[in-house]
Amino acid sequence: MRLLMDECVPDLVADAFGDRGHEIHFARDECPETPDHGVQHHADQIGAIVVTWNIRHFRQLPRSHRTGQLESHLGRIDFKCGEALGAERVVELGKLIDTAYAMHQEVSTERFFVRITTQYITFFR
């Protein structure tokens, strides 16, 4: 998976994904101080899934008037837990995330969304 780390994502989380073999890009390096819609646009341009703690900001991105869906968005992995717990959750749930992504690639062209909290992980489109 190609992942774009939003500026709010701790390096330990990026390292945990990188240790699983994922290609890591950093918004702070590739599009520094860019608003969330610009981060999403950059992710779309490089074919990456955004990893973020700013769930509510990304929910407010422009949507298609026709479908109500985000205009372009390959996916998002968002965290709703303390930043200190983020890397631990990636290590703990990494195989499940990788398996879900592989299955997603085989059967769907829909977007890949994951929410990770202290208690659960949710996959949705």
The string of pLDDT tens digits covering residues 40-51 is 889 988 989 999
At 14, list the tokens: 């990026």
* Higher pLDDT among residues 61 and 28, named by residue: 28
Answer yes or no: is pLDDT of 64 > 60. Answer: no
**pTM score:** 0.86
| Residue count (the chain) | 125
Q: How far apart are CA 84 and CA 38, in angstroms?
A: 26
Out of 3-7, 56-60, 69-73, 108-112, the most confident range is 3-7
* Range 61-68 contact pairs with CB under 8 angstroms and sequence separation of 24 or more: 61/36, 61/37, 62/37
Answer yes or no: is pLDDT of 57 > 70. Answer: no
Answer yes or no: is pLDDT of 33 > 80. Answer: yes
| Residues 24-33, mean pLDDT to the nearest whole number | 94
Tell me what pLDDT residue 77 has.
Answer: 94
Reported as a single tens digit per residue, the pLDDT across 73-121 is: 578 999 999 988 999 999 999 999 999 999 888 886 667 889 999 999 9
Q: Could you tell me which of 21, 22, 27, 20 has the C-alpha nearest to residue 4?
A: 27
Answer yes or no: is pLDDT of 65 > 70. Answer: no
